[in-house]
């Protein structure tokens, strides 16, 4: 029989234990563990959730890797065409882990109404375009279809629609300048079939999505000429590696750019979330550990006579230390239990009911996104338990200094 565990269990179950002087301090220790777990869960879930959501929004507009011509053009507009008759298109088989590749082009134009005008970029896409992300962004209407060769359907952002007073089924004219300045500009009438809102205002105010054939016609490109390829990968954590592999498996006349380089400032900003998460976890475990140390010291002082008796009966120091560590483990488990109930409850409530909104102009999302994975929940609980117990090994050393004779007389 594990007699240390047996005695610890009897101490925990006794009425005297629950009504002792140490009871309020023990409750504070349990509360500290619970609050710490809640805060750490929220920090991890919202930190990773924000990173993923912001990353998904940027990827939705550009893909994970962009394949284009080598040129000095730093704008979003496609200037020099490339042929889509490539070995890696429509399936990039030479590199593993690529989920999709699509051909696109972009052209700057001016949206003109009777009372206003607004500059924007028409992103031309074809039948190979993956609408997965924009299905999520769609707030009104439907996604465009390009079954007709010269389909004039477009998807416009809520930002542009509000600025120009547009709604679904409205038509508008967009003016495109030709490369030859002596010629008159092209004017195309588009029909709004859907309105999207990604929450990423910097990109929403730039792009509307339409048929790539219009850009090909304006630029006098052939049917097989496009602006660039957008590549999507399965594992974003392998972006750097996949970017290099894709570069090696494309012709030498092509350049590749990963999305984290194109939007370096945004990705550097979201990396800061990792430091915040580590900082919060460290602080919370330290606070919880200090509270448990205090509770353990009070328990030891309260049970000084019992320690003396156990030593007199032949128990060694490590055996008595184990007894109190079992006791502390029970308190930590209680704190973890309540912390998990409260923490997961709050996270699921936010996930399904969107209780806490955020300013999209600052965070690029309209509500606090949460990432819930039982993998990190388990790791967080195990890490907290182990670290707290390791911190408790030091104060439990005080037991070795207690003399049996003096302890039995202790009052």
Q: Which of 261, 226, 231 is nearest to 69 (CA)?
A: 226
Residue 345: pLDDT band (50, 70, 90) is very high
What is the distance between the alpha carbons of residues 107 and 29, in angstroms, rounded to a whole number? 62
The Cα–Cα gap between 120 and 206 comes to 5
Work out the widest C-alpha separation in the chain, in whole angstroms.
107
pLDDT the model gives residue 262: 92
- Cα–Cα nearest to 25, from 301, 406, 283: 301
Q: Report the alpha-carbon distance of residue 153 to residue 170 in Å, rounded.
A: 10
Structure token digits, residue 58: 């940027």
Express each pLDDT in 82-91 by its tens digit: 999 999 998 9
Confidence label for 185 from pLDDT (cuts 50, 70 and 90): confident
The CA distance from 143 to 165, in Å, is 20
Do residues 287 and 32 touch, judged by C-beta distance below 8 A? yes
pLDDT (average), residues 159-179: 91
The rounded mean pLDDT for the chain is 89
Alpha helices in 303-409 (DSSP H): 304-312, 317-353, 360-363, 374-393, 404-409
Could you identify the residue written with the tokens 């490109």?
Answer: 221
Tens of pLDDT along 27-49?
888 999 999 999 999 999 999 99
97: left (phi over 0), alpha (psi -120 to 50) or beta: left
The confidence band for 410, taking pLDDT boundaries of 50, 70 and 90, is low
Tell me the domain boundaries of the chain. 3-56+267-409, 71-252
Does residue 368 have a pLDDT over 90? no
- 64 burial class (0-12, 13-18, 19+ CB within 10 angstroms)? buried
pLDDT of 212:
95
Q: What percent of the chain has pLDDT over 90?
A: 59
């Amino acid at each position: 029989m594990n007699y240390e565990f047996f005695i610890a269990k009897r101490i925990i179950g006794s009425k005297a234990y629950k009504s002792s002087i140490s009871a309020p301090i023990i409750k504070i220790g349990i509360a500290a563990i619970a609050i710490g777990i809640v805060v750490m869960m929220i920090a991890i879930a919202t930190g990773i959730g924000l990173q993923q959501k912001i990353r998904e929004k940027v990827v939705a507009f550009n893909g994970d890797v962009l394949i284009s011509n080598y040129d000095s053009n730093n704008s979003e507009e496609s200037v020099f065409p490339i042929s889509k008759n490539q070995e890696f298109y429509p399936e990039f088989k030479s590199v593993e882990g690529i989920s999709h590749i699509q051909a696109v082009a972009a052209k700057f134009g001016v949206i003109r109404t009777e009372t206003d005008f607004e500059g924007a970029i028409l992103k031309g896409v074809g039948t190979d375009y993956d609408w997965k992300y924009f299905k999520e962004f769609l707030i009104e209407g439907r996604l465009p279809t390009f079954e007709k060769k010269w389909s004039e359907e477009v998807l416009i952002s809520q930002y542009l629609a509000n600025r120009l007073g547009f709604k679904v089924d409205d038509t508008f004219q967009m003016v495109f300048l030709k490369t030859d300045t002596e010629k008159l500009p092209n004017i195309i009438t588009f029909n709004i079939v859907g309105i999207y809102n990604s929450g990423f205002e910097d990109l929403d105010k730039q792009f509307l999505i339409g048929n790539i054939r219009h850009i090909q016609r304006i630029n006098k490109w052939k049917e097989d000429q496009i602006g660039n390829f957008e590549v999507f990968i399965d594992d974003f954590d392998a972006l750097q590696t996949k970017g290099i592999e894709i570069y090696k498996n494309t012709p030498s006349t092509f350049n590749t750019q990963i999305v984290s380089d194109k939007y370096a400032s945004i990705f550097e900003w979201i990396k800061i979330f990792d430091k915040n998460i580590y900082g919060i976890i460290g602080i919370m475990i330290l606070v919880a550990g200090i509270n448990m140390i205090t509770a353990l010291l009070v328990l030891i002082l309260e049970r000084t006579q019992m320690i003396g008796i156990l030593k007199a009966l032949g128990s060694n120091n490590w055996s008595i230390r184990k007894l109190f560590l079992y006791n502390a483990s029970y308190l930590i488990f209680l704190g973890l239990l309540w912390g998990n109930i409260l923490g997961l409850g709050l996270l699921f409530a936010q996930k399904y009911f969107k209780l806490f909104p955020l300013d999209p102009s600052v965070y690029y999302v309209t509500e606090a996104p949460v990432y819930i994975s039982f993998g990190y929940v388990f790791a967080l609980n195990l890490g907290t338990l182990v670290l707290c117990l390791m911190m408790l090994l030091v104060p439990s050393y005080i037991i070795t200094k207690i003399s049996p004779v003096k302890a039995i007389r202790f009052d």
